[in-house]
Amino acid sequence: MISRAKSRIKIEHQPSIKRLEELGVSRWPIWSKEVSEFPWTYDDAETCYFLEGEVVVTPDGEEPVTMGQGDLVTFPAGMSCTWTIRRDVRKHYKFEG
């Protein structure tokens, strides 16, 4: 029997303004990308806050995870995945290496 580990992606849906201020999200750079699909590997952990859009991230060997506008998401270092952007994305991001 093959067991699949639960995704290591952490999502906080609709975090409070206070939480975002504590993290300093508004000072992080912004990344934008149109509807597309591409492979990605995280060399470092990334935390991001989605300002716009909808994405399905499918970690290699794991179930797809849907995220988008209003979500605070942390991706673990070393994770390889496929990004499927369903609606154009704008997000603040911060790498922690």
Q: Residue 64: inside a domain, yes or no?
A: yes
Q: What is the pLDDT of residues 36-80, one digit of tens each?
A: 999 999 999 999 999 999 999 999 999 999 999 999 999 999 999
Residue position matching structure tokens 């716009």: 52
Q: What is the number of structural domains in the chain? A: 1
Phi and psi at 59, nearest 5°, equal -65, 145
* Sequence-ordered list of residues with C-beta below 8 angstroms from that of 44, at least 6 positions apart, any chain: 77, 95, 96, 97
Percent of the chain residues topping a pLDDT of 90: 91
What per-residue confidence (pLDDT) applies to 66? 97
Domain extent for 62:
10-96
Closest of 40, 47, 53, 39 to residue 10, by C-alpha: 47
- Assigned domain for 43 exists: yes
Q: Is the dihedral of CA 25, 27, 33, 35 positive or negative?
A: positive
Q: How many CA atoms lie within 13 A of 73 on its CB side?
A: 22
- The CATH number of residue 44's host domain is 2.60.120.10
State yes or no: pLDDT of 4 exceeds 70: no
Flag whether 2 is in a domain: no
What is the mean predicted confidence (pLDDT) over 81-89?
Answer: 98
Q: What per-residue confidence (pLDDT) applies to 5?
A: 44
